[in-house]
A and B are shown apart, each in its own frame.
Chain A
Amino acid sequence: MPPLPARRLKAMDATTPALSFIDQYGASRDHLPGSTLPWLSALRETAIADFAADGLPTPRAEAWKYTNLRPLEKLAFETVSDETISIDKLPTLLPHGEGGHRLVFVNGAFRADLSLLGDFPDGVEVNSLADLLARDPGALETHLGRFGIGEGQPMLALNTALMRDGLVLRIGAGVTVPMPIEVIYIGVAPDTPRAFHPRNLIVLEPRSRATIIEHHAGLGTGGYLANSVSEVLVDAGAALHHYKVQADDIDAFHIATSHVRLEKDAVYDSFTLATGARLSRQEISVRLADTGAECHLNGAYMLRSEQHCDITTAIEHEAPHTSSREVFKGVIDDDARAVFQGRIVVHPKAQKSNGHQLSKALLLSDRAEIDAKPELEIYADDVKCSHGATAGDLDHAALFYLRSRGIPEAAARHLLIEAFLTDTIRRIAAEGLCPALMASVGAWLSDAAQRGTS
């Protein structure tokens, strides 16, 4: 590894795991997928230098004000090797019939033996990143690392330096993929904590349509760090429904960064249900780059014990007649903490745009906490923008009303919490997913009832 520029070394404020990640890079750089490709090596070198300059994010950085990665310091993460882990039961969300699509990644590595590709329409290319780098790297050079820029984003930079595998999906112009594409990410750390850095690249060419359902789950074996990055391009007139269920192990760290670019009249519709991980952060940046582009970023989270869930979004309205709508709702119990940071920037050119944002949290214990930070920056005069953030207890009047009709207190609380989350979940277009999500909500509530806290 060539020496890092002196300027960067001087600025370096790396914590122990940061150094260990840098060491890992140094040790593995010649064996990483695509190590013979000059463009990719250059990308990785820049990325590790960026990461070394910043170190792991700390609350001193405005974007990480409420989320502290210090717990990572206590763990020595082992780089994932090529071990094959046997999986007995896949945590699938969809009742798959004939012709469904399911891709499985274990500790970030694609597992063809567990996947089920089904029949994709012509014009759809589904690959694993590792495979494509070995076989046809030219196909990646145009997009990989182009939407997600690492500067000021250490976790993204770290991913770029150490990425090995992930989903590469291209939907050709005018193609509609009728069935949802389920992508299952399983984390397993049987003896020592593992760290992996999945990297996804999703390109929807003009007028194409697809639905992707990500499911992140663990097998209850121990702590791991999943530091994933997704780069998404939705070209003119195309529409992507991107749903995600984050049910990682309770000892896991889940850091997910998405960069989405929308062209003319493109639609990006996303929803996340987060119930897992001891610490999770979902950071979504969307650029509405051309007229008529539209994004919906919705989600729900349910937290308990000492879980920490950070949702950070940044929406850039760069063109006229663009619209964004964002609703995140959460239920927070025990000592858990949620963070919602929502930034909307309306650029001077983006007249006639509208952006609406809402964060609502139900606090089920006195110690539960949410930090909500909406930020609107508006540089155009003819726009409609709004934001709102609420946090509160369950409605006591409603609770008494239900109980006065004979419904026991636990069941009444269950009904009200479910009702609070239902309207966001019902907006999901993918049929078959709603019942699975409501079942997750129901399971969380039954656990709460058994523990007698909720």
Chain B
Amino acid sequence: MLEIKNLHATVDGKEILRGLDLSIAAGEVHAIMGPNGSGKSTLAYVMTGREGYQVTEGEILFKGRDILAMTPEERAGEGLFLAFQYPVEIPGVPNTTFLKEALNAVRQYRGEAPLDAMQSLRLVRQKMKELGVTEELLKRAVNVGFSGGEKKRNEVLQMAVLDPALAVLDETDSGLDIDALKTVADGVNALRGPERSALVITHYQRLLDYIVPDKVHVLAGGRIVRSGGKELAQELEQSGYAAFAGAAA
């Protein structure tokens, strides 16, 4: 599904990722944990093609295709989805319009017929019901006036509607109460299947109680410094990241 080889990336001329290797097979859920500033969010933005994140070396293959030359919208069309750590507020764009535009853009990319307003609304409503997200979120402008929990629920709703092959969740658990955390976890777990994968980026082990990963990686100093099974998350919870501070150098 995903193959990252020797990835080096800079932001404002400063090297943040320094030879990162990561491989996720179809159907697997991986977690990346690491201290602040280790490059977790940079990895998410490099994968999705954000402006200002320069790849200087290495490659990212997604379903066997090099995505680094693709625009962010093409990557989304290919089935890559990022749940943002800080979802962006967009005044004046109704959430329903946004979901419909995104859904049809992705469908068009995949060669599927666009859905009309009624059809897309039906699909969105069905996903909301499954996720236990309130109708209220549809009526408002995208993320405007949403609480922290509502914003994260909206991310999971978008993920469910767009049906990605690989979902990257960037600190989706930050600032969430236990109910919102469960909604997010349910959303990700509902997507799990033999053809789908997820990459959960988190600072804490808490989310991994609900989304149980197949593999856990520790990111420090712009590299994966250790990989293991789900028990690695528990170990980190007890020992902290101090042991990896040296690994960065």
Residues of A within 8 A of B (CB): 395-398, 400-409, 411-412, 415-416, 418-420, 422-423
The answer to whether B76 touches A419, judged by C-beta atoms less than 8 angstroms apart, is no
A406 to B114, CA, bound (A): 13
* A405-B51 in contact (CB<8A): no
Check if B160 is an interface residue, CB within 8 A of chain A.
no
User: Are A415 and B93 CB-contacts (below 8 A) given A401-B87, A404-B82, A405-B162?
Assistant: yes
* Complexed CA–CA distance, A406 and B109 (Å): 8
Contact status B50-A405, CB under 8 Å:
no
Q: B42 at the A/B interface (Cβ < 8 Å)?
A: no
A435 to chain B, nearest CB (A): 15
B87 touches A409 (CB 8 A): no
Q: Are B73 and A419 in contact (CB under 8 A)?
A: no
B90 and A406 contact, CB distance less than 8 A:
no
User: In the complex, which residues 99-116 of chain B have their Cβ closer than 8 Å to any Cβ of chain A?
Assistant: 101-102, 105-106, 109
A416 and B142 CA atoms in complex are apart in Å by: 11
Determine the distance from Cα of A405 to Cα of B106 in the docked complex, in whole angstroms.
Answer: 8
Task: List B contacts of A396 (CB < 8 A).
Answer: 51
CB pair B105 A416 closer than 8 Å: no
Asked whether, in the complex, the Cβ of B102 is within 8 Å of the Cβ of A406, the reply is yes
Q: Are B90 and A402 neighbours in the complex by a CB distance under 8 Å?
A: yes
Besides A400-B50, A404-B81, 8 more A-B contacts (Cβ < 8 Å) are A402-B98, A404-B48, A405-B158, A406-B105, A411-B105, A418-B92, A419-B141, A420-B92
Q: Judging by beta carbons under 8 Å apart, are A407 and B73 in contact?
A: yes
Residues in A with CB closer than 8 Å to B51 are 396, 400
Complex CA distance for A412 and B71, rounded to whole angstroms:
13
B92→A406 contact, CB < 8 A: no
Within 8 A of A (CB), among B117-162: 141, 158, 162
A-B contact pairs, 12 of them (CB 8 A): A398-B90, A401-B87, A403-B71, A403-B72, A404-B75, A404-B76, A405-B98, A405-B106, A406-B102, A411-B101, A415-B93, A419-B90
Taking CB atoms, residues of chain B closer than 8 Å to A395 are 88, 90
Chain B residues within an 8 Å CB radius of A407: 73, 101-102, 105
Please tell me if the beta carbons of B158 and A397 are within 8 angstroms of each other in the complex: no
Closest Cβ of chain A: how far from B110's Cβ, in Å?
Answer: 9
- Are A406 and B76 in contact, with the CB atoms below 8 A? yes
A406 touches which of B50, B88, B106 (Cβ 8 Å):
B106
Q: Report the separation of the CA atoms of residues A408 and B77 in the bound assembly, to the nearest whole angstrom.
A: 10
Q: How far is it, in angstroms, between the C-alpha of A401 and the C-alpha of B102 when the chains are bound?
A: 11
Chain B residues lying within 8 Å of A408, measured Cβ to Cβ, are 71, 73, 105
Annotate B61-105 by CB proximity to A: 1 below 8 A, 0 otherwise.
Answer: 000000000011101110001101001111111000110011001
Q: How many Å from the CB of B195 to the closest CB on chain A?
A: 19
In angstroms, Cα B87 to Cα A405, docked, is 12
CB distance from A426 to the nearest CB of B (A): 9
Which residues in A have their C-beta under 8 angstroms from that of B75? 404
The answer to whether A401 and B76 touch across the interface, beta carbons within 8 angstroms, is no
Do residues A406 and B162 form an inter-chain contact, with CB atoms below 8 A? yes
B54 to chain A, nearest CB (A): 15
Binary contact readout B173-204 vs A (1 if CB under 8 angstroms, 0 otherwise): 00000000000000000000000000000000
Q: Are A405 and B88 in contact (CB under 8 A)?
A: no
The answer for the CA separation of A396 and B71 in the assembled complex, in Å, is 15
Q: In this complex, what residue of A is CB-closest to B89?
A: A398
Q: For residue A405, which residues in chain B have a CB less than 8 angstroms away from its CB?
A: 76, 98, 102, 105-106, 158, 162
Shortest beta-carbon distance from B106 to chain A in Å? 4
